[in-house]
Amino acid sequence: MSKIKKWGYVSAIMSSIVYLVWRGMFTLPWNQSFFEILYGFLLWISEILSILTAFILIWNKKTFKEIPKPVVTSEDIFPDVDILIATHNETVDLLYKTINACTFLKYPDQQKIHIYLCDDQNRPEMKALAQKFGINYVGLENNQHAKSGNFNYALNDSQSPLVATFDADMIPYSDFLMTVVPYFFESYAKRVDKKIGFVQTPQSFYNEDVFQHNLYVNRVIPNEQDFFSKEVNILNASHNSAVYTGSNTLFLREAIVEAGGFPINTLTEDFQLGAQINSCGYSSISTTEPMGSGLTPTDTGSVFKQRTRWARGMIQSIGNLHLLTNKGLTWPQKLIYFNGYLYWWSFLGRMLFVFAPILFALFDFRVVDTNFWLLLMLWIPSYLLLLLVKQDVSGSITNQRWGEIQELFFAPYLVLPILLETMGIKNSRFQVTKKNISGNHKKDFLYMIPHVIILGLTIVSLIKFNYGKFGSEIMYGSVITFWLLNNFINTLLAVLVFIGKPQNGEPKFNVSGYVQSSDIQSGANVSINYLTASEIAINLPQGTKLLQSKKYALTIVTSQYTAQIQANVKKWDKHVGCVLHIAAKDEVNYQMLLQIMHDGFNKRLPQKRDKWVTTCDVLIDNINRRISRLNKVLQKGGKG
Query: In 485-525, which ranges are E strands?
Result: 513-516
What pLDDT was estimated at residue 249? Answer: 98
Tell which wins on pLDDT, 302 or 388.
Answer: 302
CA trace torsion 500, 501, 506, 507 (10° rounding):
-70
- Are 60 and 239 contacting, i.e. CB atoms less than 8 angstroms apart? yes
Q: What is the pLDDT of residues 529-540, one digit of tens each?
A: 999 999 999 988
- Are 262 and 256 contacting, i.e. CB atoms less than 8 angstroms apart? yes
Q: What is the mean pLDDT of residues 158-185?
A: 97
Least confident of 141-145, 347-351, 462-466, 517-521: 517-521
pTM of the complete model beyond 0.85: yes
- Rounded Cα gap, residues 640 and 632, in angstroms: 12
Tell which wins on pLDDT, 159 or 502.
Answer: 159
Distances (CA, A) of 179 to 11, 184, 355, 510, 575: 41, 11, 48, 23, 38
Query: In 79-157, which ranges are E strands?
Result: 81-87, 113-119, 136-139
Looking at every residue in the chain, the average pLDDT score rounds to 91
What pLDDT was estimated at residue 224? Answer: 94
Give the contacts of 604 (CB within 8 A, at least 6 positions apart). Answer: 218, 507, 508, 509, 510, 530
Q: What is the pLDDT of residues 8-50, one digit of tens each?
A: 778 888 888 999 999 999 999 999 999 999 999 999 999 999 9
User: Residue ranges per domain, the chain?
Assistant: 513-598
- 3 pLDDT band, cuts 50/70/90, is confident
What pLDDT was estimated at residue 385? Answer: 78
- Are 615 and 493 contacting, i.e. CB atoms less than 8 angstroms apart? yes
What pLDDT was estimated at residue 349? Answer: 95
Q: What is the pLDDT of residues 193-252, one digit of tens each?
A: 999 999 999 999 999 999 999 999 999 999 999 999 999 999 999 999 999 999 999 999
CATH topology of domain 513-598: Thrombin, subunit H (2.40.10)
- Rounded Cα gap, residues 416 and 348, in angstroms: 9
Instruction: Say whether pLDDT at 639 is over 80.
Output: no
Distances (CA, A) of 40 to 31, 50, 367, 414: 12, 15, 4, 21
- 439 pLDDT band, cuts 50/70/90, is low
Instruction: Say whether pLDDT at 459 is over 80.
Output: yes
Instruction: Say whether pLDDT at 151 is over 80.
Output: yes
What secondary structure letter does DSSP report for 519?
A: T
Tell which wins on pLDDT, 517 or 417.
Answer: 417
Query: In 287-363, which ranges are E strands?
Result: 292-293
Q: What is the pLDDT of residues 392-436, one digit of tens each?
A: 777 688 888 899 999 999 999 999 999 999 999 887 666 666 666
Q: Is 172 left (phi over 0), alpha (psi -120 to 50) or beta?
A: beta
Q: What is the mean pLDDT of residues 285-302?
A: 93
The partner residues of 515 in beta bridges, in order of sequence, read 526, 556
- Rounded Cα gap, residues 577 and 571, in angstroms: 9
- Rounded Cα gap, residues 460 and 467, in angstroms: 10
Tell which wins on pLDDT, 504 or 271.
Answer: 271
Instruction: Say whether pLDDT at 521 is over 70.
Output: no
Q: What is the pLDDT of residues 89-144, one digit of tens each?
A: 999 999 999 999 999 999 999 999 999 999 999 999 999 999 999 999 999 988 98
What pLDDT was estimated at residue 441? Answer: 59
- Rounded Cα gap, residues 23 and 288, in angstroms: 40
- Are 496 and 626 contacting, i.e. CB atoms less than 8 angstroms apart? yes
Residues listed for the chain: 640
What pLDDT was estimated at residue 409? Answer: 97
Least confident of 298-302, 379-383, 582-586: 379-383
Give the contacts of 88 (CB within 8 A, at least 6 positions apart). Answer: 120, 121, 146, 147, 150, 168, 432
